Structure 1
Amino acid sequence: MAQVSSTAKIKRLPSPNRVAVLFAIVCYIAGCTTLGPASVQRDRTDYGGALATTWKEQTLLNIVKLRYGDAPVYLEVSSVISSSAMESQVSLGATWFSGWPNDGNSQALGAYGRYTDRPTISYTPLSGERFSRYLLRPLSPAAVFSLVQAGYPIDRVLQLTTRAVNGVYNRSASPFRARAADPRFYQMLEALRRVQRSEALGIRINQPGDKENTLIIVNRGVPDAVSNDSRTVREILNLRPEATELALTFGMVQRNDTEVALLTRSMSEIFVELAATAEVPPTHLQEGRANPAPAEPASDTPWDQPLVRIHSSATRPADAYAAVPYRGYWFWIDDKDMRSKSEFLFILVLFSLAETGVTPQAPVITVPAN
């Protein structure tokens, strides 16, 4: 809240100048008494930017905490209500004197203004059943392939969100289930990506309540290279060569040769995978404060590189996409690392998709109308 009060005396100014000064001050104060449209433009941009920045920082901090075995905390901003008010008052007075000893004249000007800004921001901690839905429940296969249908690269989506497809396992850097990828998992991802680019892969989402969704692979009217990739995927996943419609389900292994069983990760698993490759200060590793880094893969391929490169430094980075302080150090993502930035943004989208069922109601807030 800001309060301004001023009183000034203007002596012996020519009459036209006095009028101009008083008119300018009155117009300035009158112009400041309305906030409406200008406040929408200012507040919406500022609050939106602050929410986006803190969302990134909270996610990054929780990933880093997992590397240290610390408990992550998720706090949602459920509502933002901004209430602003401005009032002003202007008083003018003039006195003329004639004759000695009061030869001359004087004028008095007074102005008073007050601005009040009382934002109401509600926070909702993620706990209980909502915590289970967001973090512990595996992503649904339909949600994963809906992202693919929306245009996200299928290879990046499956590498991040799945542990296995029809028993063909992905690499894991988690200290709890560290393992190398099956030899043909990355070959399958590359072939699926080429099939996706040819528009020969689709998905049909069934009505709510149905247990299975359908993947559609088009074999006719596509180039020979795409047909070869389709055959490669079918061989790796043990699928019937002539089948064009495949059932999409959740599971470790398939029940028959027309089913794609996706063993998906939960958001908690995804965060643990990212935390395992985060860079931490060597002293913290030597002192046993953080989990050790995963073993180097046997073959150095681009697929085995960290999905999101998280750096650490003793000082705050000058050019960071997101940076958070923790245990006396700064952990950050380089703003020039587009691969890490795109993967991190994808994680934020996945975090929104993890919410299922009825959305809990936000708290009711009563705002006084002056």
Structure 2
Amino acid sequence: MIYLVFSVNFRMICFFLTILLLFGPIGCLNFGPVSLKSERSKYNMAIQKTNDEQLLLNLVRLKYRDTPFFLEVSNVASQFRMKNKVSAAAQLESMVKDIFNLGASSSFEESPTVSYTPLQGDKFVKNIMSTLPLKTITLLFQSGWSVERVFRVCFQMLGQLENAPGASGPTPKLAPQYKEFLQSVKYLQELDDRDALRIIYQEPNGQPQMLLQVSDDAKTSKPALEFARSINSIPSIKQYILTHFPTPDQVQHFPVIMNRGKELRIVPRSLLGMLFYLSQSIDIPKRDLLKGKVTLTKTAKGEDFDWFEVTGELLTIRSSDEKPLRATVRVFYRDTWFYIDDSDLNSKSTFSLLTQIYSLQSGSIKSTEPILTIGVGSR
């Protein structure tokens, strides 16, 4: 017969086991808030990063005349599980006093699940192909975006001045008209820098209008006079009315005073038009240019046109064979890295403006039912 000699107190063992069983669940009670604090920022940054990458990817696709596609994160769920382990072992050694070994361990496991919703259907297509409402554009001004940046991105025509309207679609073969428009909006930016310009939205008789109001003490200033001259308007005008050209059934209710120079026809771009327009800012690798993978724009003299003259001050999307280290956003497409340099503040601002416009146009029509759900895995 074998006798086991226990040199430890059974009451002490029971005490330790009881402590583990009682306080283990208490640790789980604090697990939720701790995990929320540690993981929320990570998910936030990951979603923001992939949203930027998707937008950049679609800009590159449009430059190559590939089909754009938008996939939104509709839901993120994460399950946390805590595992507790208690162990006890006995050694059958006659000359050892402490023959019991007690152990405890705890670990947790996270299983995130991401649901995606493709943005498609007639309503979404209509929203991205419809011109941006003047009310929305006015909201951009009032939220702090510069006059020059918003005008250049959102408008393709001001009166008779063209802002590369052909660039609102696939890359045109002929060089666009744009110089007079760019100079004209620079005068408006000068007025805004002096705090001498107000932009107001109104709807008289249901007709959307955007008012440009010049302060009394600035209406005879050089930028105000130069702006009036650039659009063939009467000098020293205090207010300009920007509006869509009226349809025939609206003419009788519409104050047509364009011949006085106070009212200007304005043609906004659609969201898709803005994406096409800003895709002209991409630096395409020479090998793709030589292979004819993108359209080469020519001047009237048959020379290569540099789109940097149109979009260079707004946005520059660079390309590289090597993975860029100083990029605020980057994507790998067609064996090339496309990216925005982290120190290019102008490009970062324009890209941020584009993300806001995208959210305004697509945010209200996102489906609440996920189409694709993927388990990301556990860690």
TM over 0.5: same fold?
yes
User: Which of 271, 282, 288 is residue 284 of structure 1 equivalent to?
Assistant: 288
1:59 matched to 2:59:
no
Q: Taking every aligned residue pair, what percent have the same amino acid on both sides?
A: 26
Determine which of 137, 140, 150 is the counterpart of 1:144: 137
After alignment, is 240-249 or 183-192 more displaced? 240-249
Partner of 1:318: 325
Q: Could you say if the C-alpha distance between residues 31 and 328 of structure 1 is closer, same or farther in structure 2, counting changes exceeding 3 Å?
A: farther
Show the counterpart of 1:263: 267
Q: Report the Cα distance in structure 2 between the residues aligned to 1:300 and 1:110, rounded to whole angstroms.
A: 69
1:340 matched to 2:340? The reply is: no
Give distance in 2, aligned partners of 1:299 and 1:109: 75
Relative to structure 1, the CA distance from residue 186 to residue 275 in structure 2 (aligned partners, 3 Å threshold; closer, same or farther) is: closer
Deviations 1:282-340 (A, max 9, x none): 22222222333665798999766363211222221111111111122211111111111
Partner of 2:75: 79
- Match among 356, 362, 369 for residue 368 of structure 2: 362
Amino acid corresponding to residue 43 of structure 2 in structure 1: Y
State whether structure 2 residue 224 is matched by structure 1 residue 230: yes
5 Å-filtered alignment, 1:297-312, equals 305=312, 307-312=314-319
Aligned pair partner of 2:359 in 352, 364, 368: 352
User: 1:128: how far off?
Assistant: 1.5
For 2:181, the equivalent position in structure 1 comes to 185
What are the residue-to-residue correspondences of 1:237-256 with 2, within 5 Å? 237-239=231-233, 244-251=238-245, 256=258
> Cα distance, 1:58 vs. partner?
0.6
Q: Which stretch shifts more, 145-154 or 23-32?
A: 23-32
More helix by share: 2
More displaced stretch, 273-282 vs 335-344: 273-282
Q: 1:161 aligns with which of 154, 178, 203?
A: 154
Deviation string 1:28-70 (CA, Å, 9 cap, x unpaired) is 9677534221111122101110011001111111111112221
- When residues 297 and 153 of structure 1 are mapped into structure 2, their CA distance, relative to the original with a 3 A threshold, is farther
Query: CA separation in 2, counterparts of 1:300 and 1:285?
Result: 14
Count matched residues.
348
Alpha-carbon spacing, 1:272–1:123, altered in 2? closer, same or farther (3 Å)? same
Amino acid at match of 1:128: G
Measured on the aligned residues, the alpha-carbon RMSD in Å equals 4.1
Cα distance change, pair 286–103 in 1 and its aligned pair in 2 (3 A):
closer
Letter in 2 for 1:42: S
Distance 1:364 1:309, change over 3 A: closer
Separation (CA, whole Å) in 2 of partners of 1:146 and 1:210: 18
Give the 5 Å matches for 1:97-108. Answer: 101=94, 104-108=97-101
Name the CA shift for 1:316/1:304 in 2 (closer, same or farther; >3 Å): closer
Distance 1:298 1:252 in 2: 35
Kindly indicate whether the alpha-carbon contact (under 8 Å) linking 2:164 and 2:176 is maintained by their aligned counterparts in 1: yes
> Where does the alignment leave 5 or more consecutive residues of structure 2 unmatched?
1-5, 248-255, 372-379
Change (3 A) 1:199 1:310: same
| Bigger mean CA deviation after superposition, 184-193 or 244-253 | 244-253
Alignment partner of 2:338 out of 297, 313, 331 = 331
